Structure 1
Amino acid sequence: MYRFAPSPTGDMHIGNLRAAIFNYICSLQDKSGFILRIEDTDTERNIDGKGEEIKKILAIFGIKWDAEYIQSENLKFHRQLASQLLINKKAFACFCTPDELEAKKEAAKACGEAYRYDGTCERLSDSEVLENEKPFVIRMKKPERVMSFTDLIKGELSFEPDAIDSFVIMRADKTPTYNFACAVDDMLEGVTCVIRGEDHTSNTPKQELIREALGYNERISYAHLPIILNEDGKKMSKRDNSSSVKWLLESGFLPEAITNYLVLLGNKTPVEIFTMSEAAQWFDIKNVSRSPARFDIKKLEQINREHIRLANNKRLSEITGFTDETKLSLVRFYTQESSLLTEIIERVNLIYNNEKQFSSEHLANINQIRASIDDMLATGAPKDYDEFKKQLMGATNLKGKSFFIPLRLLLTGSEHGPELSELYPIISKDLKAIIKEKA
């Protein structure tokens, strides 16, 4: 069983999406199942509506889940199991105040040492705990041995007891910390493999320790994905527009192209252009590089262009809103000019815009060409561009820039663009609609 467990605290970034895609592809391969868990226990940072937004984005990318969980709905289990750990002496109540802990951290810092919890409350007797009326958190007892696990990407990883420390699992307000809620939920929901970002690597031994202390013996395998760097070679942040999945979609990148690129990024693949279902035939998480991968927007644009070209008419109609076959052909045609769907749609719409604005410099010649094409259409416009051009030049007595620039403006709304000889065969049957002026 695989899972994707985002927090509803902000826009989904490509690191989140990459983890979701990898988990989903692996679930397709072994048919073990895929669940979505909205981790909403950090109430101060939650943003209304983000949970639904996450689900909509996953649906856009064709990611389907077998079950959905809301982490806060498991609170009663978190509290019950934390109490069980207290009773079994696997965890202890800690009454140290934030000020006291901060003073100890500053003292350690002054000595040039890493702060570790000093065990003050772990040494309290049962009666001292029962008689203490101060607010308390619950801490796991520091492990007595090295904690190790095999990462499917990074290999064998080990953590000394001091690196894990006596960490907090329940806050004073009786809400679980991330590690405790995550460890318990993965256990309760039958998760068997966790694929997530490498910033969670140090959380894994803590979560393993929690489940072990609760007597859970089912094995969970792990793969921690290297970070994605921006084009400057630095860790991607919210300041990088391209880190936002919403921004990429709004900019004109197709979900299938984004998926393709994120699977390709820092990975060994047998082909460069593929769909998610095709990737499921050969994907191997062990082939993902251990090193950070640099995000290349130009590469994504190239992949996006290929997916627009490969899309069938039904798919093109879904993503453009066009139903006319000529317009769909133009979408593919304009991939030679642009890689972004938004720009391509704009260019196609401009061709059919009957309110094109022309400068006075070309207006007279444009009107002359328009009238000549209108006359030509009475008997049927030639399908061959050379013949069309020859007849039009003869009818208008225009040539050179005085002919080609006004013609291009009339047909496309722009002075620059693809060769008219290549464009004309696509639009020839729509000339009447294209040159028509608004009534």
Structure 2
Amino acid sequence: MFRFAVSPTEPLSINSLRIALLNYIVAQQHKEELVLRIDDTDKELNIENCEKEIQELLTLFSIGHSRVIFQSENLKYHQKMAMQLLMQKKAFSCFCSQEKLDELKEEAQQKNTLYSYDGFCATLSDETVLNVNAPFTIRMQKPTENIEFSDSLQGSVNHTPDEIDAFIILKHDKTPTYNYACAVDDMLYDISTIIRSSKHLLNTTRQIHIQKALGYNKVIAYTHCADISCDIKEANSVKYLIDEGFLPAAIANYLVLLGSNAPKEIFTLEEALEWFDINSLSKENLTFDINKLKEINKQHIETMGNMRLSKIIGFADEDIGKLSKLYLNNCSTIKEIKAKMDAIFAPKKPIKKFKDEFPVLKEALEKAPYFENFDALLNYLKQETQFDLNDSTASLCYILTGNESGPSLDEVYPFIKNYLGEIVK
């Protein structure tokens, strides 16, 4: 069983979406179940409706999952297993104040050494613990030897006891920490494969330490994927990209393409199932390129059905879909194309540079009969206005499209001729 774990403490990022896509692809390839886990134990930091938005976005990207698991619903298991660890002396109660812990961190920083808990509370007797009337956390005992695991991309991963440390598993309010909740939940749901970000390598080692302490020795297949660095803060949000007019299919295409040995640049998620190899992904950190995404998005729009494109923009006419594609030389997103279509159908106000031509041309167009082709309309306008018109006249282009430049009017006209009365208003 695969799992995609995501926290509702922040909007869905491109890194998280990529991990979700990779989990979905590999789960489909192995014909195994994929569950969505909402890591919602940190109630104070959870963003209202974030979990709902995440699920809606995953649905938008056709990332199917068999069920949704809320980590907070497993609190009784987290606490029960923590008691087991305490009873077996594999964990201990820690009464150290935050001030003391901050001192240890500052001391390590001054010495330029790795911070680790000094183990003071690990040596307290049971009698002392019982007599201490103060808030406490529960910490894992520091392992006595290195912990090693195999990763399909990173190879052999090895961490020392000092790197793993005696970390907290239950906080003062007796809710679980991230690593502890993850370790227990992966046991509860018998997760067999974990695909996650490379930033979690040390977390994985700590989770293995917890599971071994609980007597769980199942070997889980791990793949820790390279992260995507993004210099454009807003573009790190999946919702932002959707709102900006990037198609889910294009975003998925780009994120799966990053670091992979794809046989072609443009593909669907279904096509990726045939050739994608998780073990051949690049281990190097990846860079988000908004211009590359725009190029891919443009190609997905180009191959989209004309009626579907028209409906996405807010119409239901195949001609509007065809018209929209004429603007792909200068537009690369649905938002940009919709702005062009809105400009065509918006009321046109006279502008200074066309103050003489505008009212005359507009009146002639309002009175014009139906013409099948643009040349016939142009000849009519020349006769009615006595203007020296041709298909590059900026004033005519402005009245018909809302812009002074763009695709040639003889290309545009076949798709707007039935709307002329609505456009010239």
Taking structure 1 as the reference length, the TM-score comes to: 0.90
TM-score, length basis structure 2 = 0.93
> Match for 2:319: what amino acid?
T
- Bigger shift: residues 126-135 or 413-422: 126-135
Alpha-carbon displacement from aligned partner over 1:196-215 (angstroms, at most 9, x marks no partner): 22221110000011111112
Residue among 357, 360, 379 paired with 1:365:
357
Distance 1:376 1:323 in 2: 25
Matches of 2:395 and 2:135, distance apart in 1: 80
Aligned to 1:117: 117
Q: CA deviation at 1:387?
A: 4.7
Q: Confirm or deny: 8 A CA contact 1:258 1:304 kept in the other structure.
A: yes
1:307 aligns with 2:300: yes
Q: Distance in 2 between matches of 1:421 and 1:314?
A: 22
The CA distance in 2 between the partners of 1:356 and 1:120, in whole Å, is: 77
Q: Which runs of 5+ in 1 are unaligned?
A: none
Between the aligned partners of 2:94 and 2:399, the Cα distance in structure 1 is: 78
Does 2:105 align with 1:105? yes
Structure 2 counterpart of 1:24: 24
CA distance 1:219–1:368, shift in 2 (3 Å): same
1:398 correspondence with 2:387 = yes
Distance 1:403 1:158 in 2: 68
CA contact (8 A) 1:337 1:418 kept: no
Matches within 5 A, 1:409-428: 409-428=398-417
Q: What is the CA distance between 1:404 and its match in structure 2?
A: 1.4
Question: Which residue is equivalent to 2:422?
Answer: 433
SS in 1 for 2:196: strand
Q: What residue in structure 1 maps to residue 288 of structure 2?
A: 295
Counterpart in the other structure of 2:160: 160
Please tell me whether the aligned partners of residues 21 and 63 of structure 2 are also in contact (alpha carbons under 8 angstroms).
Answer: yes
Once the two structures are superposed, residues 91-140 of structure 1 have per-residue CA deviations (whole angstroms, 9 ceiling, x without a partner) of 22222232333333334444443232232222233333334333322111
| Equivalent pair of 1:393/1:403 in contact (CA under 8 Å) | no
Judge conservation of contact 2:7–2:38 (CA < 8 Å) in 1: yes
Show the 5 A alignment for 1:256-295. Answer: 256-295=249-288
Q: CA deviation at 1:44?
A: 2.1
> Which residue of 2 is the match for residue 382 of structure 1?
372
- Contact 2:91–2:141 at 8 Å: present in 1 too? yes
Match of 1:170 in 2: 170
Instruction: Answer yes or no: is the 8 Å Cα contact 1:140–1:167 preserved in 2.
Output: yes
- The answer on whether the counterparts of 1:365 and 1:402 sit within 8 Å (CA) in structure 2 is no
- Give the whole-Å Cα distance in 1 for the aligned partners of 2:117 and 2:64: 43
Spell out, residue by residue over 1:182-231, the C-alpha distance to the aligned partner (whole angstroms, 9 max, x if none): 11111112222222222211100000111111122222222222222235
- In 2 relative to 1, CA 101–370 (structure 1 residues): closer, same or farther, beyond 3 Å? closer
Pick which of 51-60 and 117-126 moved more: 117-126
CA shift, 1:87, in A, is 1.5
- Three-state SS of the structure 2 residue aligned to 1:89 is coil
Q: Is there any run of 5+ residues in structure 2 with no aligned partner, and where?
A: none
1:132-143 map, 5 Å: 132-143=132-143
Shift, 1:314, TM fit: 5.1
Amino acid at match of 1:96: C
Q: Aligned pair count?
A: 425
Q: Is the 8 A contact 1:40 1:70 kept in 2?
A: yes
Per-residue deviation, 1:65: 1.8
Identify the residue that residue 230 of structure 1 maps to in structure 2.
230
Cα separation, 1, equivalents of 2:391 and 2:15: 53
Q: What SS does the aligned partner of 1:281 have?
A: helix
- Name the CA shift for 1:175/1:388 in 2 (closer, same or farther; >3 Å): same
2:234 equivalent among 222, 241, 244: 241
8 Å Cα contact 1:93/1:129 also seen in 2: yes
Given the superposition, is the C-alpha separation of residues 217 and 67 from structure 1 closer, same or farther in structure 2, using an over 3 Å criterion? same
In 2, distance between residues paired with 1:211 and 1:222? 15
Q: Whole-Å Cα distance in 2 between the matches of residues 164 and 269 of structure 1?
A: 37
1:4 is aligned to 4
Distance in 1 separating the partners of 2:332 and 2:18: 22
For 2:301 and 2:145, locate their aligned partners in 1 and report how far apart those are by CA, in whole Å: 54
Q: CA RMSD in A?
A: 2.2
Q: In structure 2, what residue type is equivalent to 1:422?
A: E
Inter-partner Cα distance in structure 1 for 2:400 and 2:111? 76
Moved over 4 A (4+): 370-376, 400-403
Q: CA deviation at 1:54?
A: 1.1
Q: Following the alignment from structure 2 to structure 1, what is the Cα–Cα distance between the partners of residues 319 and 173? A: 63
Mark the CA change 1:403 to 1:360 in structure 2 (over 3 Å): closer, same or farther. Answer: farther
Q: Is residue 94 of structure 2 the alignment partner of residue 94 of structure 1? A: yes
The answer to whether the 8 Å contact 1:61/1:255 transfers is: yes
- Aligned residue identity for 2:415: I
* CA–CA separation in structure 2 for the residues paired with 1:109 and 1:374: 77
